A and B are shown apart, each in its own frame.
Chain A
């Protein structure tokens, strides 16, 4: 209340503002409890010792969960996950950027139709779409049969349960997250700048590199974050499309929780993932990205 006296606004106005700020109490309490306290809990858990019987933890401080991350096997899983995420992001840029670009250049009627077509797959369950790929890729499935009928191959190719299949599944699942922000930034773009460039006699690719690309870069940046971050945790992709050696961090967390029952180590893995995400968000903000752009739907 002391503070109110120092403000220049009339008291009534201030109080009115304060009382409507109270409306956010449930959300603040929920956030502090289910997000704040939860994260504090797993951070704390990641510094505790696992009890020898495997069911529970001992209240002893230890750094061994983090030391374990440097174990060659775990480090390799981490590395695989990051590389796969980067490959997914690169492919999504290559496929999704032109898509978003063309979509943004289409007529208004077509833009609505295309938007609908991009979003409708989202209304089918993600797992069902992965399962659709399984049907397509399996040994005696449609793709192999088509290739054999065309005489391109003699024996069925091993398509399913490969790293390539996991990559395909990731790109497929995350592509719309690249398309939609790109589309938004192309649609908002000031095309008179492109026309000016062209009128001055610049070649189309030069105009693209010096005008279009920089102007759509925010959308591209948002898309990259929206693709890369979730790619780190889609453990069901490697479960359903990959082979036994295509483990991702997500599979490791799942395994530590349910099979090895080493919860402090699972917590340490989660904390590391959280730190990577925070680092990416930090870079994103430094590069001028806005948090509100992250909700593309």
Chain B
């Protein structure tokens, strides 16, 4: 089939992509801004001063990043176990009320985040939990699990169920079948689910805003408060570094994939 190509397509795609990247480019550019005032809106010259200040962590940004990474790692670890087991247990139709449970399990990623944030604030207060890392992890696990659940469930649906059955029929135990047949088959799904959940946890602002304590701050919360109260361009410096890191990881991944394909 001969594809008809519109001459407008590349132009349009480029234009939208430029708009998409414009604010990001500006953030990176301003990380090299010599301006050190409280509301640095003008570009006054090139300098690395914000990177140096960032490394000394004068604004507690690295501390917040560290908290965010710990939070994401804990939440994803717990969600990975709960969500993967959940997806295996709920593959196909297994028990009465399963549909209702699945709908309820997906609610956290379907409804506007503020509902969950508000509700957790109220419930955790009523139960008397101390707000901090614990409440953050509980909340994050709740919205990370559905992402992993969906991805793994999709992977299981595409899997040949007779493989696990054959293993059982040949006398392997349920545990052995799980570790030697099911797990290797769904592992790519588990990993991509975990990556997605990790990104969502790292990026979450709305829910964290409601369930954080006075002393625990995550990176998005830190960015929010510093944008409101007068920005330090250290925020730009940190985000530029993170972006560079992601770009390098993506490029490496692409290289590996290309090599595999020959």
By a beta-carbon cutoff of 8 Å, the part of chain A in contact with chain B is 16-28, 30-32, 34-39, 41-42, 45, 95, 98-99, 102-103, 105-106, 114, 116-118, 120-136, 138-142, 172, 175, 191-192, 195, 229-230, 232-236, 239-240, 249-250, 253-254, 257, 263, 266-267, 269-270, 273-274, 277, 281, 291-292, 294-295, 297
Contacts and interface: CB of A to CB of B under 8 A. Distances in A.
B122 A45 contact: yes
21 contacts: A22-B89, A24-B87, A26-B81, A31-B101, A38-B119, A39-B107, A124-B27, A127-B205, A127-B220, A128-B27, A128-B223, A128-B235, A129-B24, A131-B231, A172-B20, A191-B1, A233-B206, A236-B205, A291-B110, A294-B109, A295-B147
Interface of B: 1, 3, 5-6, 9, 12-13, 16-17, 19-27, 30, 41-42, 81-83, 85-90, 94-95, 101, 103-116, 118-123, 126, 138, 141-142, 145, 147, 149-151, 154, 168, 174, 196, 199, 202-203, 205-206, 209-210, 219-220, 223-224, 227-228, 231, 235, 239, 242-243, 246-247, 250, 254
**Chief secondary structure at chain B's binding surface:** helix
Contact of B145 (A30, A117, A232): A30
A23 B114 contact: no
B27 A23 contact: no
A157 B152 CA distance: 50
A230 B86 contact: no
Contacts of B142: 30, 34-35
Contact of B114 (A37, A121, A273): A273
A116 B141 CA distance: 27
9 closest A-B pairs by beta carbon, nearest first, are A132-B23, A24-B89, A27-B86, A233-B112, A23-B89, A233-B114, A102-B9, A21-B94, A123-B246
Contact of B111 (A28, A116, A124, A274): A274
Given A117-B17, A267-B118, A125 B219 contact: yes
Given A27-B85, A30-B82, A235 B206 contact: yes
B168 to A, nearest CB: 7
B1 A274 contact: no
A277 B112 contact: yes
B200 to A, nearest CB: 9
Contacts of B141: 30, 34
Nearest to B95: A21
A98 to B, nearest CB: 6
A126 B208 CA distance: 14
A136 B219 CA distance: 22
B124 to A, nearest CB: 9
A126 B203 contact: yes
Contacts of B101: 28, 31-32
A161 B199 CA distance: 29
Contact of B89 (A27, A30, A99, A139): A27
A37 B104 CA distance: 11
B186 to A, nearest CB: 12
Contacts of B89: 20-25, 27
A135 B35 CA distance: 13
A129 B227 CA distance: 11
Nearest to B206: A233
Contacts of B108: 35
A95 B243 contact: no
A264 B118 CA distance: 11
Contacts of A269: 118
Contact of B122 (A23, A42, A239): A42
